[in-house]
Each structure stands twice: as structure tokens, then as C-alpha cells.
Chain A
Amino acid sequence: MEDRIPETPLFDRSRQRRGYRLNKMAMGLVDPANREAFRTDEEAYLDRFGLSAEEKQAVMARNWQEMVRLGGNVFYILKISAISPARMTEIGAHQAGMDHETFLRERLGKKPAGGR
């Protein structure tokens, strides 16, 4: 099922193998001590999980679209938003290539100034 559905990355074998370390890093953030380590020295925390330069850059830029391209799965990488707040709709808008207002209006049928 390799992207036979347009604009829909399925978490198949190749994606999850590629993204394993990235997702493991994000999964680590369920531990409060790891959240603190991430806050204190983000790059050092990322290095503990052996992330590549490309992966580290995507995380540090909070580039959700790129993290997903690199095999990140939203259920794991979302945990980064517990540290640097981003709403699910903002993460969705980023991947859709829209600003938040436009995303809420065009994809979710919200009126302007809608919440999440």
C-alpha cells in the first residue's frame, strides 16, 4: 500500500523502518525526565537516539511535513508538541501547505477565528 492514495503517507514497512529512530526519540518524551532533557539541550537529546543531521534539522525546525517525509508518524512526533506547543490543526495545516486560518476554513469548514 505504498502511497497508492494521493497525499496519504501510510505507515508501511519502509516508512516505519526509515523513521524508527526518529519515532523512538519522540516516544521517549512520554518520560518527564526526557522532556526535561529535551528542553535543556535538545540536540544532545536527539543525539542520544542517533538521529541523522537531516532528521535533527527537521525536528529542531519543527518541520512536521519533513518529519513525516522522513518516516515520522504523527502519533509519536506529536509528543514534541507537549514541549513546544502546536495544535493538531496547526500540524495538519503545515503538512497541507496552508496557513492555519485557511486550513480551518477550507478543510474543516470552520468560520474565521475558530478554535481547534
Chain B
Amino acid sequence: MAKLIGGLGSSHVPSIGAAMDKGLTQTDDWKPFFDGIGPGRDWVAANRPDVAVVVFNDHGNSFFLDKVPTFAIGCAERYDPIDEGWGPRAIPSFEGHAELGWHLVDRMVENRFDPMIVQEIEVDHGLQVPMELFFGKPDTAWPVRVVPVFVNVIQYPIPLPSRCYELGQVLRKAIESFPGDERVVVIGTGGLSHQLQGARAGFTNPEADREFLRDIAANPGRLAALSREDYVRLFGSEGAELMMWLVMRGAMDPDVVVKHSHYYVPASMTGAGMLVLENRAA
């Protein structure tokens, strides 16, 4: 059976991708962030996952408001990076793991999650940036196949944090009942604190971010029990996307080991973080 070997967390700020594209990773603005990603890359290189299940939200690129799935699972063989309006980025397409995607859908429905099934879709910075942070930007092909898990965190009603956590628990069972020998990581993406709209634009909350990075490992039940309003108040209107890390955390054992944790603020207007978790029993 497939094996879940780790839970990863990462911001997906688009300007992180732009900084890599423009060779700005060593500037004063960006160096403190990029200096902290090495151990995350090292962990991935040492542990050689075959598949990344990437939990993220589309940002008005592949989905418009005409159709808004609360949860959607990618079941495609291939995902092209989307042109978000600034022209296409020079990164390779992502090879999908359609069989695993379908298997996740089966197990989710049997466990009373009912996702949208997606067979043709492009992916935006929400998936691209975490992949680049953990795997680097390859010239031709990514070293892993991907299964995108889309979560609506833009148009209300967005799902409850507790529901995201439960989804992770179902994904764990689903991954480890897949007939194959794949080594799988789940990547929770987004955040940390940021707000891009309204007079509170530019809000960040480094203290809450650091508590989040600590408790997502040690006390995820506290974070799953918070309301959506709590997330917005603590992390900003767009920082509420942090609840997607709960999907990753729900897929892990209750008892985890933190292999790497990194935080820097601000990346553009956002508290930026990276996290690597392993199950303690593993």
C-alpha cells in the first residue's frame, strides 16, 4: 500500500515565485525568507517522495465565481501552470497521479465527503510556489507526481476549520489504502497572516503565526476548534487560508516530530512559513 511519509506546510505567496523568476532571492527583502527553506528541500531530497498531494486554493484563475466547489480533487494525468494574466511562467507542467486522485475521490465519498471531480484544469501559484520551494524549479520535469486538492477559501461560505481537519483524516486512510508502493507527502499551503482587502490591508500577526506553527504540530485540536471568524481576526481576511494546513495535519498521526520550521515576515504583505512534520512512530 502507499505510504504517507510526511506532512509539509508552505506559504504560496505569488511574489515568492516572482522573486525566484527574477533572481531576487538574495536581496534584502527576500534573503531572510529564502535562507530558511534549505532544510525543507534537504528533507524532501533525503526522503524521496513519489507523490505530492497538494492542498491549496485557486485564486480566481482556474475557477471563476460561476462554479465554486468547496472541495475538488484533481484526477488528471497532467496539470499545466496557468497564465494568471501576466503571461505564462517558465515552469514545467505537473504530471498528475490520476489513479490516486480517483481513489481519493472514492474513499472521500464513502466517508461522506463529496468533492468535485476535475479531469481538466490548470493550476495557479497556490500549487506552483510550494512545489518550487520544496523541489526547486526543474528544467524539464518535476521529481514527483501531484494530486491537487482544491479548497474554496475565497467565496463565503468557506468550509469550517474542523471540516478541513476531518478531511485530512479521511485522506490519510485513503492514501494508505491505495494499492501501490508510492511514498506520499501531503502539502498544506497558504498563509500565514495577511490581508489584501479593506482598510486593514497590510495586517500581519507574527505572534499568532508563530503560535500557529507551534500548535499545528503540538496542538492541532486547538486550531481545528477555532471558527472561521477567529481565523480572519487572527490571520487576516486572506490569512484564513491557513486552515488548509489542517487538511495536511489531519492526515498525520496525533503525535508528530517537527523536522523543520521556518518563519519570516513580510514576504510581500504576508507572514511566510515552511514546516516539515513526520509521524513520531514512523
Residues on A facing B (Cβ under 8 Å)? 1, 4-13, 16, 20, 23-24, 27, 29-30, 32, 35, 68, 73-76, 78-79, 82, 88-89, 91-93, 95-97, 103, 107-110, 114-116
Assuming A1-B156, A75-B60, A96-B201, what are 9 further A-B pairs, CB within 8 angstroms? A1-B229, A7-B198, A8-B197, A9-B198, A79-B85, A91-B196, A109-B265, A109-B266, A115-B27
Asked if A92 meets B202 with Cβ closer than 8 Å, knowing A8-B195, A35-B85, the reply is yes
For B156, the chain A residues whose CB sits under 8 A away are: 1, 10-13, 16
Give the tally of cross-chain contacts (CB within 8 A).
113
CA–CA, A80 to B25, complex, Å?
Answer: 26
Contact of B64 among A24, A68, A116 (CB under 8 A): A24
Q: How many residues of B sit at the interface, in one of the four size bands? A: 35 or more
B268 located at the interface, meaning its Cβ lies under 8 Å from any Cβ of chain A in the complex: yes
For B268, the chain A residues whose CB sits under 8 A away are: 88-89, 116
Asked if A74 meets B196 with Cβ closer than 8 Å, knowing A8-B237, A24-B65, the reply is yes
A27, closest chain B residue (CB): B64
Residues on B facing A (Cβ under 8 Å)? 15, 27-29, 59-61, 64-65, 82-86, 154-156, 195-204, 228-229, 232-233, 236-238, 265-266, 268-269
Asked if A95 meets B61 with Cβ closer than 8 Å, knowing A35-B85, A75-B154, A89-B269, the reply is no
Question: Is the pair A107, B154 in contact by a Cβ cutoff of 8 Å?
Answer: no
For B232, the chain A residues whose CB sits under 8 A away are: 1, 5, 8, 10
Helix, strand, loop or mixed for chain B's interface? loop
Contact of B198 among A35, A75, A95 (CB under 8 A): A95
Could you tell me the distance in whole angstroms from the C-beta of B223 to the nearest C-beta in chain A?
A: 18
Helix, strand, loop or mixed for chain A's interface? helix
Give the top 8 A-B pairs by smallest Cβ distance, nearest first.
A107-B202, A7-B199, A7-B200, A92-B201, A75-B60, A79-B85, A82-B85, A95-B201
For B238, the chain A residues whose CB sits under 8 A away are: 74
CA–CA, A32 to B84, complex, Å?
Answer: 10
Could you tell me the distance in whole angstroms from the C-beta of A30 to the nearest C-beta in chain B?
A: 5
For A73, the chain B residues whose CB sits under 8 A away are: 60, 154, 197
A6, closest chain B residue (CB): B200
Question: Is the pair B228, A68 in contact by a Cβ cutoff of 8 Å?
Answer: no
Could you tell me the distance in whole angstroms from the C-beta of A70 to the nearest C-beta in chain B?
A: 12
Question: Is the pair B29, A115 in contact by a Cβ cutoff of 8 Å?
Answer: yes
A30, closest chain B residue (CB): B85
CA–CA, A5 to B156, complex, Å?
Answer: 15
For A10, the chain B residues whose CB sits under 8 A away are: 156, 232, 237
CA–CA, A10 to B15, complex, Å?
Answer: 23
Could you tell me the distance in whole angstroms from the C-beta of A11 to the nearest C-beta in chain B?
A: 5
For A116, the chain B residues whose CB sits under 8 A away are: 15, 29, 268
